[in-house]
Structure 1
Amino acid sequence: MKDNDLLFDLDDEAIEKLAQEFPVLTDEEKERIYAMSERKYNITEDTNTGFNSETEVSGVDVYKRPKWRTASIAASLALLIGAGSFGGYNIAKQFSNGDNNDPDVPTTVSEDMSQALTEVSEDPRTEECRKTAEALLDEYNDFITPYIEEELPESPDYPEYELTDEQYESMSEEEIEAYNIEHEKLCRQIDEEYSKYFDNIWYDVRSNSYPYSTSEIQYGYWSYQYYSSGMKFKNTDEVMSKALSFMSQSLIDKQFPDLIGEELTNYEPNRIYDHDNEDYPDFGTYAMYNGKLYCSSLGCDNEGNDHINSTYKFYKYKNEPAEIYDITDDSFTAVVKYEFTNIPNKYDMSMKVVNRDGKWIIDDIEPTGPELDRQKLDVIDKMMNSVDLYDKISAKSASLYKIPDDSPAKVKDHSILFNILYADNRAARSCRYGYYGDRYNGSDDISDLAEYAKKTIDSDHERENEDYCDGEKYYYWHNPTDLDGDDSNGKEYEWYDWNNYFYRDSDADKYKGFEALRLNSHHEINNYERSTYKPVLCPNGQELATSYLYELNKWDITGDINFEGRDCYIIEGVRPDAEYNYDPNYEGLDVVNFKLYIDKETGIPMVTMTYLKNGDINEVEMYFDVKFNDKAEPVPEQDMSWFDTSWENYK
């Protein structure tokens, strides 16, 4: 081999293997790469002179290996890519990384090859696909906004109620009544006039037969609006025609499952329907009523713009070029960049675009994001299921709250709230004692706080409230309310709140854990059903996971610690919704950062610390004297036989 050959340290067998494993490019492709390299290095026939082995000495003797001239770079580049683009790139990377102990191999070799490979691998249809994807995205965004805002009727201007306090006090009852009648008359006239341009109807579906419930269960509330101008569609046929012009039917069913509702004309509006005993319509986003199209179920983006409801929601479009992948003759995938979606840890919209009958349409949409950290997911999984321990753990806890320095409150040190939790594998009982004892004014060190809490807690102190769960029902009482006014019958405290949201194994299909979380436009989790969550008399890892840990890029596992005999992970991070809920009225007082001690075995939070924007501690919650299973302190007996849970008492 020649000394100036890039493959000088490979034998013939290795080169032959490279040639077999990596297909040779066509002459046209090699010519294009060579031409690009020629332009890159300004190669001419006059400069194609091979090596220059001269060395320069200045001050000290420094030996330099011979440097390659640009013509040799281009020729070797073409040779390498001819042997296989991936293989050639890897060999060049070895040189540039110094694997051959040559510090003078120019790094531009690998950079140039990367550019050349990009030119070779980029499909010439990429830019056209990008334009198609962005045009379809424009149609999608136009479709989810149901109104043309500038064409909507102006809101009515109602007369102000102009009576001042002085006028009101100086008028007789008859004069006040006459003024109110006249004012209401003017408002009704305006409503009647405005009704020509706008109408609102609503339907409320409830049930009052849910067992052990002290209130009605609302299954849904639908409010529909009609505008005489500014609506993009006149009827449901137009809605579907528009949807099918740029989406597949399967995507409509997935992304807008309730797009078209049942005709509402035969259902009386503006009243409550009995879920168990009355027929009510199959509601949808759009529905016809008395020959007019009404729109319902509107949400809004974080700019406050109305949009129709959808399964997946995408917030804060980044206005970056779509990334294009998997191009074929009749399909491709486009990834559109957003700041976040309604699915935690999924930041982008991935669109599957297909060609149907000569027309490009969106066939599927998914929120996508980076591969998630497995250790973090394992920690979250334990935290989400830590409430299974509600009847298997006993503990004492303390919550310390520090008054901010710029608060108008006179006392600036810590106030402390105590709880004691009992469990014995059949029931659980939690007692809250409220704030008592001397206010803590020591250091913010967690060990000092823990010592103060353990020294101050008093199980004989008067209780403020109590939770009790016997495995079937969940009760709560608050002191000092008397249930029936008779303080001699043993019912001195009011017991209420039932098992209508108690989690049982039979409800497992409702509980989907971390994957079921959804965000709103303010980056908060607020739309899960209370009925799917378990009672949390034990340390609540689930609440922390759904409040602070649902965005994995906002926190890290920063270490380990043994706290109160339990091996814990130290987790530190930033509240994921902090930047979306900024309130200038609370400058420096927003809770931004947090630190957690999470028990490695069970996922329960041993310590939770929150910090203000200015770095001060806001609140500390800690658990100590934690015992599990047979070692847990048994539940003090609580006789609830007198408490009638039958529904008949509440009719």
Structure 2
Amino acid sequence: MRKDDFFKELDDMDIDRIAQEFPVLTFDEKERIYAMSERKYDKENGADKDYSDKDEIVVSGVEQYKRPSWYKYASAAAAVVLVIGGISGSMLLMKHGKTFHPDNTDLSTATTGEETTLHTGTHEQNGTSTEPATKESVFIPATTAEDTEPTTVETTTYAQTEPEDDYEAIALELSDKFADLVNRLNRNVQYDPYDMLDFYITTSDRYLYNQSESYYYRVTEPGFEFPANYTDAFKEICTEELYESLYSKAGTENKSDTSIDINLSKTFKADLSRYYTGDHVELFMDYGIYTADFIIYRGGLYVCTDSLPGNWKTYSDQPSIIQMGDSSFTSIRNALFSPVCKDSASQNGEPLSFTFVKEGDSWKISGIVKIPN
């Protein structure tokens, strides 16, 4: 738009806004502005008028300068161009330039003689590294003038499978806990010798007049003073499926020859709270069981001390890993504890196959099978 046509393009809204922002001038002010405008107009149109000898009007003060409205948009556009240029340059630098550590060490290549080896990644130039865990330093160049300090991001790659030594440690811990629990079921617990009960208990499905007297003492083993402590301990090291198998209410006659003869449902079944010490008890008629190594009596757990084993053994060897996977493995170990090993004088024991699986962050025993000789 030509400046001569500027006032021709104004609409009513612009006229109103200008009228509000600029008040009506006085007669003297109008004359002064008119004289200045006329002089400037004649000068630009080549008028040969000499105003040097005429009276001049001196304007004092400084006229306030206001940037055009389009100036801020042009500035924003220029800033966008600078940012795009900086990002593009950084990407080219990352793609084609060398990588440096913050201490100015060149990490991209290290040349020795005629052979060049990469240092920053887990892969070598002609092969893949087999290291289980490595750390990488990734250089990130600055993208702005203010941020001139290079930064590094460390990334760690871990091996997906655990080494065999870790599997052996897991097998040792869980199989030891299993043997310890089985020995506790075999009455290897502390008890109070002053808190005693005695009953005449029939251990047959026939009524007997001459019953033998059995003695029970209150269990004081820390952490194993109630039936729930034993079942919870098995749940902690066994999968749900294996626990249900060990707790099975079916009799041992339905179990295979390779199964472990443990029936938690019958271990703590006899509740003799209604009897008094010295009474006659028919176990089979009342509870469907032939023996009771433990009884429940008025809120307490009592253990039978008749014919206790001389000692309680565990294994004759360390676990041996025979099969490994990402989330499961199998181990063999020779057990000396009852009821796996029937021969108390055995030195080698009976071989057991343990299968372990990972559930979340914990390893558990998923299967225990006796290996036939």
Q: What TM-score do you get using the length of structure 2 for normalisation?
A: 0.19
Larger RCO, structures 1/2 (Cα 8 Å, 6+ apart): 2
Q: TM-score, normalised by structure 1?
A: 0.12
Larger Rg over CA atoms: 2
